[in-house]
Structure 1
Amino acid sequence: MFQVGEYIVCDHNGVCQVLAVTEMPELKKDVLYYQLEPVYSRGSRIFVPVDSNKLVMRRVFTEEEVETLLKEIPSIETIWISNEKKREEQYREVARKYDCREWVKIIKTIYLRKRNRRMEGKKTTYIDEKYMKLAEENLYGEISIPLKISPDRVERFIRNRIENKESE
């Protein structure tokens, strides 16, 4: 059970802070709900049953887990599927896990695809743009919490860490 004040990832709502654990008799008697506030949509409230198994809910990565992830980034595999429809299905399947390593997998894949397509004189596909945005928002939003930096500074932080590791 998550505690009040804790930051969690709640499925498609992204990073949320647990504001309360409460009953809501107007919805269902004898059922506890998390009252969540999405971190990047202040003022919104979400109520999720504590025992819900329909949504992905997990604790936000710790600083140590972020450090481990950063070290793993160069070895995280990409998704190479040439068929556009199958690639989108794979992106969707990976995204449903709401897992940082999976977000990195999508970002790496699309970064390399964009670079290759640019070299071929082609534009980035709508699907790649859509999933890149989704992956970046979720990954950067989550790891900004333990790093105590704003999400818009996370990409630069990651790039600097990877570049510094490569130059060692």
Structure 2
Amino acid sequence: MFQNGDYVVYGCKGIHKIIDTTTLNMDGVSKNKEYYVMQPYDKPTGSVYAPVDAAKINMRKIMSRAEADAFIKTVPGISILDIKNNKQREDAYKECIRSCDPDELMRVIKTLYVRKEERISQGKKLTLTDTHYMQQAEGILYDELALVLDMPKDDVPDYISGIVHKSVV
């Protein structure tokens, strides 16, 4: 169980801060079921409710700084998705993003960077679907890393590149 004040990655919804736990007073909802009251990291005026005991919801505590630094060093070893069929590739993106797993989010990002370069070399742009999943994966992972590394989100890609480059050299 998470504590008030904890930051979590909440499925494909991104970073949230646990504000409280409560029960909901709504028709059709059990009065005994507890819910986390969460504040979206990118929308501090909003509230999201998630069942405390839901096994199907992927939610995890955000990385520590040490875990983030260790994760970044593993980025070169994270493989890309090698799926040629558009529908299967989209399903794989969805599954990776829903997992909340930093490795899977980075797998989507790396795959789409490679795909973007391939399309540019063919005189094409990244498709809207690919752009959507790129933004979603980057949004979740880069928000988390920006928070734990205490830096602006826009600086995260360069920070990752710098660490990866140092570890390769």
With the length of structure 2 as denominator, give the TM-score of the two structures.
Answer: 0.91
Q: Which residue of 2 aligns with 1:118?
A: 120
1:150 partnered with 2:152: yes
Select which of 93, 97, 108 maps to 1:91.
93
Counterpart for residue 32 of structure 2: 30
Q: Which piece of structure 1 moves more, 24-33 or 63-72?
A: 24-33
Equivalent residue, structure 1, for 2:8: 8
Q: Paired residue for 1:47? A: 49
Q: For 2:68 and 2:96, how far apart are their aligned partners in 1?
A: 19
Shift of 1:119: 1.8
Count of aligned pairs between the two proteins: 167
> Which consecutive segments of 4 or more residues in structure 1 shift more than 4 A?
none
Where does residue 161 of structure 2 map in the other structure?
159
Q: Cα distance 1:29–1:119, how it changes in 2: closer, same or farther (>3 A)?
A: same
CA distance in 2, matches of 1:12, 1:92: 8
- For 1:124 and 1:148, locate their aligned partners in 2 and report how far apart those are by CA, in whole Å: 31
SS at match of 1:82: coil
CA distance in 2, matches of 1:121, 1:24: 53
Deviations 1:32-62 (A, max 9, x none): 2211001111110112221112321110111
C-alpha contact (below 8 Å) 2:12/2:140 kept by paired residues: no
1:74 aligns with: 76
Scaled by the length of structure 1, what TM-score is found? 0.91
Structure 1: give runs of 5+ residues left out of the alignment: none
The structure-2 alpha-carbon separation of the partners of 1:49 and 1:83, relative to structure 1 and needing over 3 Å to count, comes to: closer
The answer to whether the Cα contact below 8 Å between 2:22 and 2:35 also exists between their aligned partners in 1 is: yes
Map 1:47-66; keep pairs closer than 5 Å: 47-66=49-68
Partner amino acid, structure 1, of 2:23: E
